[in-house]
Amino acid sequence: MTLRPNAIDHRVDALSTHTLLTHSAAQLVDPERQLAALRLVHWFLPGWFLAVALPVLALAYYWRSGRAAAVRDALRRRFHDENIVRFGFGASIGLIVRVAALLPNFYLYRVERAMSQSDQLLRAWGTDWLLVTLGWMICVGLVTAIMLWLVDRTHQWYIYTIVVIFALSFGLTYLAPFGAPLFERIAPMPSRALSGIAAIEDAAHLRVPVVEQIRARSHVGTAYVAGLGGSERIAIGDVIVAVTSPQELAYVVARQLGYIANGAQWRFALTDALLLIFGAAIAVTIADRVGFRRDDDPISRFALVGAFFGVLYFIAVPVDHAIARNISREADIYALALPVDRAAAVRNVIRATDESLTEVCPDLLASLFMERVEDASSRVVAINGIPSTCPK
């Protein structure tokens, strides 16, 4: 793993307080890193689009060619329980989606490795791909079996489905901190960092556990809120703890407290549930308008529903990202109302922008499909009041 502090950290640390408070973000970031960020966007977006489009085409072909019906019939010959048939067919959809997206996902992994955004080894990536694929097969299999079981039992199946989606969205968000130790290492925050954090929490009249996340895949820092209500906690990546001053760390925590104070986790869970519900409803409605094949039935047509759902994903992602950017903006406003060091806040924004190869002035496509956080230019304007120098 690349060690930090690195050359980027030293450059950002060398920026004076006067410079940080009198220059725009575009003037503060490293120009060479911004060129690399532009290349990253140009390389990443085609791979992302293919990772969504290829599964859509694969599922459409799966249904249109009659192979979906053939797999369904083969499962029925092998198993006499219709619920097992439905689960098996759903698992085949999950497998097709993952296999169709394999090459684009590998391409995206190589892009991140080449641009030093990931330190994950190929064997680890491959292991993760297999585990995620297995998870997809199980989840899609269960969704297929449960949905069709509900359709058989009641005409109000959609009401029960909506209730289940909301329960899962909020429930999984609440349980996330309890399952996190299975996938990441969590440690208590070092004592040297606690004093500044406590001062910010006192000013905010808001206290939640703050822990250090020990990462093994990337040297890019991360900070996020996990959990919901009583399970909420703030996780700060070990890289941030290692390279930031107490003043910067206080700003990072203040911003995460903004997410909590503004109910971000509730809003994220609600957004996810609503997008899933509306997406599924639209996909089912469109699929119903497509003529049935002679060998069709509700099971085989799940592949067609999945294809339409994938198309709608292109719309759902920009909506989701726009909501996330708005919540990010609110968190910044909240943090700046606390007694944070504004020069340290600008320094943190510039450090994160340079290290993560994020465009300081993202174009429309990058904003729509890649950015869940307010762009650095707008964030620095809010902190130091210096007008943005980004092109209009």
In a domain, 222, yes or no: no
Q: How confident is the model at residue 217 (pLDDT cuts 50, 70, 90)?
A: low
Q: Residue 210 falls within a domain, yes or no?
A: no
Taking residues 55-59, what's their average pLDDT?
98
Is the pLDDT score of 41 beyond 50? yes
The reply to whether 169 falls in a domain is yes
- Is 201's pLDDT higher than 50? yes
Cα 22 to Cα 197: distance, rounded to the nearest angstrom: 27
Helix%, strand%, coil% for the chain, nearest 5:
70, 5, 25
pLDDT of residue 46: 96
Does residue 13 have a pLDDT over 50? yes
- Residue 306, pLDDT > 90, answer yes
pTM of the model: 0.91
pLDDT band with cut points at 50, 70 and 90 for residue 2: very low
Task: Provide the pLDDT for residue 1.
Answer: 44
Q: How far apart are CA 91 and CA 98, in angstroms?
A: 11
pLDDT digits (tens, 9 = 90+) for 180-195: 777 778 888 887 777 7
pLDDT higher than threshold 80 for residue 3? no
pLDDT averaged over every residue in the chain: 92
pLDDT of residue 4: 79
The SS3 assignment for 264 reads: helix
Task: Determine the average pLDDT of the residues in 271-277.
Answer: 96
Q: Is residue 227 one of the residues assigned to a domain?
A: no
pLDDT tops 60 at residue 263 = yes
Q: pLDDT at position 220, please?
A: 82
pLDDT in tens, 135-159: 999 999 999 999 999 988 888 888 9
Query: Is 164 inside any structural domain?
Result: yes
Structural domain for 34, as ranges: 7-186+255-384
In a domain, 250, yes or no: no
Total domains in the chain come to: 1
pLDDT at 331 over 70: yes
- Give domain status of residue 115, yes or no: yes
Query: In terms of pLDDT, which residue wins out, 291 or 165?
Result: 165
Residue 252 pLDDT grade (very low, low, confident, very high; cuts 50, 70, 90): very high
Rg (alpha carbons) of the chain, rounded to whole number: 23
Q: At what angle do helices 376-384 and 302-336 cross, to 10 degrees?
A: 20
The predicted structure's pLDDT at residue 295:
85
Q: Would residue 283 count as lying in a domain?
A: yes
Q: What is the pLDDT of residues 79-129, one digit of tens each?
A: 999 999 999 999 999 999 999 999 999 999 999 999 988 888 999 999 999
pLDDT at 292 over 70: yes
From the list 259, 321, 260, 308, the residue with the least C-alpha distance to 282 is 308
Distance between start and end Cα atoms, the chain: 38
* CA 387/CA 361 separation, integer angstroms: 13
Q: Quick one: pLDDT at residue 216?
A: 57
pLDDT (mean) for 243-267 = 95
